[in-house]
Structure 1
Amino acid sequence: MKVEINWKKGLLFEGITESGHSVKLDYVPDGKTSEGPAPMEVFLVSAGVCSGMDVVDILRKMKKDIKEFKIVIDGKRRKEFPRIFTDVEYNYFINGYNLNSSDVEKAINLSFEKYCSIIAMIREKVNVSYSLKML
């Protein structure tokens, strides 16, 4: 996998993926307007989508009908540099027609233990946990 990163101005960068998609990332002090999310915000979004794709794919293979699905991630970072995440909590909210919590828990656990590459990369240094709320 290869990406290209181009500096635009200030701390604004544009990343271009191998598949041709682009994303702007920016960082400005609190209260100022930015032109894109900060890198650590994008990391959490990617971490959520990584697991979310797994969960949806697994539940579909189980012939489950998902009506509504949301993940809220709470990431805590240490104060000193580098300001890495120390804790990442996934909060899953899901609703469907033939869903039960045990099937959803199974899908989440498979994502956490087998499929999500981001969780696999961070779990040795970061406390990664989750909660589930059936809607």
Structure 2
Amino acid sequence: MNVTWLGEHRFVGVNPSGQQLLIDNSPTKIGVSPMDALLGALATCTAVDVVDIMAKRRTPLTSYRIEVEGERAETHPKRYTHITVRHIAGGSGVMLDALTKAVHLSHEKYCSVAASLNAEMSVEAVVEESAVPS
């Protein structure tokens, strides 16, 4: 990835395929901050794994979102010290134990972003009530 300064605290990253990512830590934010981008990378990295694992188990998801929050140190470099990741999913036949297994497999074995972070993590799986079969 190549990163180019756009002025203020705004940068654009371009990967070898040409996709762009706007990182913005300026007062007039029009992009995400570097730390928000890190949380987003963690969430999407694990999400890809969970979607694939659930599909392989023949219980594909029809709804899915990840809520991710980070607590930061008060002193520089103000890194994340604790990150909470909540996977909320639904679909026909999706059971909590299978979703929990998929989430833990991703966080503990497959997600390279999670493996790269030096922060304590809490991970939770929730099956949406409206999506639970009756």
TM-score (norm 2): 0.91
2:9 is aligned to 11
- Residue 73 of structure 1 pairs with residue 68 of structure 2: yes
Alpha-carbon offset, residue 38 of structure 1: 0.6
Query: Of 54, 59, 62, which aligns to 1:64?
Result: 59
RMSD across aligned positions (CA) = 1.0
Alpha-carbon offset, residue 41 of structure 1: 0.5
* Shift >2 Å, 4+ stretches: none
SS at match of 2:46: helix
Query: Of 121, 124, 130, which aligns to 1:131?
Result: 124
Instruction: State the one-letter code of the partner of 2:25.
Output: Y
SS at match of 1:37: coil
Instruction: State the one-letter code of the partner of 1:27.
Output: N
- Residue 38 of structure 1 pairs with residue 38 of structure 2: no
1:95 is aligned to 90
Alpha-carbon offset, residue 35 of structure 1: 2.1
Q: Which runs of 5+ in 1 are unaligned?
A: none
Residue-by-residue CA offset, 1:69-125 (whole Å, 9 max, x unaligned): 010001010011001000001011111101111111111111011100011111xx3
Percent of pairs with identical residues: 28
SS at match of 1:66: coil
- Alignment: residue pair count: 128
Q: Which runs of structure 2 are paired with 1:17-36 in the superposition (5 Å)?
A: 17-29=15-27, 33-36=28-31
SS at match of 1:104: helix
